[in-house]
Chains A and B, each alone.
Chain A
Amino acid sequence: MNIEIAGLTRRFGRNQAVAGVDLEAGPGVFGLLGPNGAGKTSLLRMMATVLPPSSGRLRLLDRDPGRYGPRREIRRRLGYLPQNLGYYPSFTVVEFVEYFALLKEMPAARVPAAVAAAVERADLGDKAKAKLRTLSGGMLRRVGIAQAIVNEPDLLLLDEPTAGLDPEQRVAFRSLLRDLGQRATVVVSTHLVEDVGAACTEVALMNQGKIVFYGTPEQLTARGEGHGVGDAPLERGYSAVLTQARS
């Protein structure tokens, strides 16, 4: 298992952002759904080794991220796209992706080819030499995706990756996700249920820091039968589970 989580919690003062999550995931595309403030981003940041847990057990890629050596090895094999991607306005697309390839300690000789491949996969070849300050929000999101996949990660964590992408790009991105999920564990945090239905093999739904549903998209859809709220079957399942969790 690439992700092993048991009883994981995270507090911010009095606020319990993550309240005892249990989760295991191997290769495949894993969707993390939930309303705003459900704890998705905090959970993802703990998996990205950015945020230490308050309590519980967390193992990534069969390693303990609480120790320096294993954490460094995890980070070499990790791809992470944060919800709010900061960027250097004067960097070009290639310079930005290369910067993070180097910070991931990729062998320097491999970096140019890896950067070119990541930029092409993110459909940014025509903008490779463009300064980041000249790009649109959707293009910047794709730059973030390119830096996340540049090291061909075994664990890829994407926080709202399709925000700002147009419909055509979202379709292409889901195809990329399915491709990456062949060998890596891809965790996609989103509130867009159609992304989950099209690309994910498993899905967890979070509410108030807890996982209130875990299963396949088809199982989530089945939970919505006879439930009136939502335009699409998966949305009805999402809404039915949340309604039940809140009652």
Chain B
Amino acid sequence: MMQRPGWDTAPPDVDLRGVWTAVAAQVWRRRPGPAERLAARLLRSPGLARALVTTPSLLLGWVIASVAVLAAGAAATLETGTPYVALLAPAFAAAGIAYAYGPGIDPAWDLSQSMAVSHRMVLLVRALAVFALNAAFGLAATAASVLAGSGTAAAVTFGWLIPMTAVCALALAAATLARSANVGVVAGMAGWGIAVLAGGATAGRFPVLTDSALILPCLAFAACCALIAFYATRSPRGTS
């Protein structure tokens, strides 16, 4: 399409277009950051790594906001004794999952459906990364509680990591089925709210945050939701 001035007058044995393109390629080349290089090596796919580092809910602003909210919750917990961190964290993680992938979140989602890198793989690596980030927050909170001698490590595990898995899987399944991150957020938060409030109403406390007997039901629920998301993102069947 483009013919730059002077190219027509170049000697026939000089490929000015080729030289120009080679120079432009070097000047315009993007240098991937360390996280993207590591992801490309681990995933064996530069495309998947690029899709991972562009996850909207893993951008720096989102991570900083997560840390700020959870730190405020931790301070409030220490001050009042009410488990605000455990109450807030699974809902926050669900929002992170819902905003990790999908139409309306990825502007070029429609175009990405025609790409060789599987969009299901993009969904899975992004979901995994958000889970991993939240698990890291959970471990940091556990370590902090041990150092403070408050003995809330178990509460963090039962009240955050296990419910987080179930609530995130619900948000993921709802967002994938409805093809809307907002629906995923609403479903995740509604599910979590119902679980907390129902426990509070019947037992006068928050058994969903502390009762180890709920681990297996939570994980089974998470597995069902993950299967739903897996089915909803199955490859389209053409006919031939």
Contacts and interface: CB of A to CB of B under 8 A. Distances in A.
B107 interface: yes
B110 interface: yes
Contact of B47 (A46, A105, A117): A105
Contacts of A119: 24, 28
Nearest to B22: A113
Contact of B28 (A57, A65, A112, A176): A112
Contacts of B108: 85-88, 99-100
A50 B240 CA distance: 15
B116 A121 contact: no
A57 B25 contact: no
A191 to B, nearest CB: 20
A55 interface: yes
B145 interface: no
Contacts of A164: none
A84 B107 CA distance: 10
A114 B46 CA distance: 15
A58 B238 contact: yes
> How big is the A interface, by class?
35 or more
B212 interface: no
B2 A50 contact: no
Contacts, number: 140
B50 A99 contact: yes
Nearest to A86: B107
Contacts of A121: 1-2
B88 interface: no
Interface string A167-194: 0000011011000000000000000000
A71 interface: yes
B114 A80 contact: yes
Contacts of B65: none
Contact of B239 (A48, A55, A80, A123): A55
Interface string A70-92: 01110110101010111111000
Given A65-B240, A85-B111, 12 more contacts: A52-B237, A72-B118, A103-B51, A105-B47, A105-B116, A108-B40, A115-B25, A119-B24, A120-B17, A123-B1, A129-B28, A173-B1
